[in-house]
Amino acid sequence: MPYHQLSSAAEVRGAISDKDSRYLVLFCWSEASEICVDLNEVMRTLAQMVDESSSGSQQIKIFGAEAKAAGDIFHELGVDSVPVVLILHNGSVEQRILGADPAKIHDAVEAIMASHATEAEPLETKLRRLVARAPVMLFMKGSPDQPRCGFSRSIVELLTSQGIEFDFFDILQDNSVREGLKSVYQWPTYPQLYARGELIGGLDICKELATAGQLQKEISSIIHDRTTDRAG
């Protein structure tokens, strides 16, 4: 099911009270907040990921509800500030994710999918989901706090120095991802940097772009173009 904005309190109530057995992931937001507007694109990408998953589309539906349109229903749901993501099942709120935290939202949805999966997720579907998990994704050895190789350490330092926010995936924890990305995206080494699911490159390319003052512009351009494509 594509990402859909509920346009009234009645629609929100209808979605919550629906006898459908699927989980409802409800993004509560305000058009007055730029962070909320940006996070809407994250939710749209997440909904696309769920829709492409054989198990996810049967278990989860993702809706947005803007504060003015939702009216008093936010108060009834205990929403005092936005952005917040509510995960509901059978009409009850099971989890609240406060603030703009794409990784935490993604992990919560992924946990639902994993707990209800009836068959193994195809590797390519998993990879597409991972590279689009956040607006900027870094696949590295280790974590930003504890890199496990010099190249990974260098790219973390580079992104940090450029003020670029990113999520990461430790390829040492999943060999299928480590080998799969090399094959699917035709890039043989790590680290690998992605923007909105599109490969930018490894450390050398990122260094070249940063030296030319183009790294942030390249990332912003990709995110803008992909957001525009989806909106169209």
3 state SS for 66-105: EHHHHCCHHHHCCCCCCCEEEEEECCEEEEEEECCCHHHH
Q: What is the mean pLDDT of residues 35-51?
A: 87
Transcribe 105-135 into DSSP letters. HHHHHHHHHHHH-SSPPPHHHHHHHHHTSSS
Instruction: Clarify whether residues 61 and 142 are in a common domain.
Output: no
What pLDDT sits at residue 225?
80
Residues facing 87 on adjacent strands:
25, 95
Instruction: Clarify whether residues 63 and 143 are in a common domain.
Output: no
Where residue 86 falls among pLDDT bands split at 50, 70, 90?
very high
Among 116, 144, 162, give the residue marking a domain's end.
116
Structure tokens at 93: 């709120």
Instruction: Clarify whether residues 9 and 110 are in a common domain.
Output: yes
What pLDDT sits at residue 116?
63
* Counted domains in the chain: 2
Least confident of 1-15, 168-182, 197-211: 1-15
pLDDT digits (tens, 9 = 90+) for 131-166: 998 999 999 999 999 999 999 999 999 999 999 999
What percent of the chain shows pLDDT beyond 70?
Answer: 92
Instruction: Clarify whether residues 24 and 128 are in a common domain.
Output: no
Number of Cβ within 10 Å of residue 103's Cβ equals 14
Return the residue matching tokens 């599109």.
198
Where residue 1 falls among pLDDT bands split at 50, 70, 90?
low
**Domain extent at residue 210:** 123-231
What pLDDT sits at residue 231?
47
Q: Residue 6: what are its φ and ψ, rounded to 5°? A: -80, 125
CATH no. for residue 137? 3.40.30.10
**Residues 6 or more apart from 14 whose CB is under 8 A from it?**
none
